[in-house]
Structure 1
């Protein structure tokens, strides 16, 4: 006759078996209804991020922007997920979902720099732009700039250059417009001295001409005339 356990021990054993069975049933329970589902034989990707407007790429193909609604169905194989936004570091992750599995990807982007937009108030005038003394391009300008304080300068031939201090914030856009002023025309002062008078130089010219004529006349009067041939000079006794 088989041995029987005392009643208290039997109750404890029964409770332990029941707990184990319930735990196993809970572990093996299917997902709750209402969760994300994919087509049979497919897998899914759900991307979340706090960086609104960031673009989501799966295997280099754009699939949407943050916030990305729903899930993106993919084949149950290896995939590369990227989340990009200008002024932020790019998030990259590799996933390998199983059939029927939905992989949740949380992408936290870190600001890496700001972006600067500069234009000329005169649309037909191109300005050369320098940041901290280095040429970065011409207007219209749209480029990334390291965060922090800088000096932005605009130049154009025939115009006065203009410099402005700027403070670039990572992940933010800074828009500016320059309206350069023309280089002023040189001011010519009127010379009112005696040497600038026309009549003064006319008188000087007349005096010079008169002096030359007088000199010629005097030289002609003092010239010794040649004596006729056969002429004899007789001296007195």
Structure 2
């Protein structure tokens, strides 16, 4: 009886053990198949595991003692997946551990690879503060980035950086300045370099030199002085003598213009630390053909004080400014300025005759009137127009003389010498027979027997 009971117990135990082994085998087989269906993405990609949703991960980060950080990436990711950062708020260094489950995002919220996270960038992240395992890292959208800022000034004495009119501060102990992965000093950074500045609020935290600079030298640039040089479609300057310009390395479009010269335009390769010389002496001025026409004949033309062979005709001149002068006897000198800025130009010269003058030399001390207007005391000289004019000569105690003269329109001056006036009462035979009394000295006609002689002569004043 006891033997049968023992046999039954052994059979039941064996069956139970077999069932347990079978159950374990089934569970193991099911687990393996699920792993094949849902493999985790490698650490290299650093995307969310397929069996853990993004919302679940965020919940996990908060529930598992999660800590937030706004940090500057100090160094590249190490071989053992450690990312050294500097927390901008706590001002402490942190070594974040990047896991296969760490979510990596761009500033736009797009998933990216960890290789796209670089030193000098500012990130926002969540991590487990007990072991510094990173749950998520995203390039900060609150931080700012400036590429190739203009008018950059770095003051290492005041720890200030000016970009145009904006001013920022930096911590000299934390500021990252680097070029090609190597650390450099802020003093080695030039505003001509190709730069990326990154910061948060009014602080600059990193300066990355993408490319250094070389030099552009202008030779024989006298003809281009005052013109403009444009480098890379963004740097425009006025051309000075002996220019040596810092230019970021690379291929740059260089355009040099001056209104009187044919322009220079070319792609120039600027090598870091070296000079590129552009010789502007090879470029010719622009020229224009100027046709001169004179209204009067016999005109002499001067261009920049140089006498021209002919005044009427075509002259080829370089673009620029010129001083013109024309002369002709009997005419007022004609002067003007000319700016040659077109291929074909015309200039008409119309000269004005010099004002003609009448000069009366005698009788000295008498008053001279022309057409009733007092001119002055003889000898006298005055401008006069061509045509007929009435000349009156008066002096107190003397008979007046009146004479009509004709001035020809020939541009020449006229010179007269009249006889002396006759004193009133000096000799009755010399008194006029027109009944003019001594009390009326300002007569309009001379005595009949006075034999007045007019002696006109011409000169060319």
TM-score (norm 1): 0.39
Higher strand share: 2
TM-score (norm 2): 0.23
Larger radius of gyration: 2
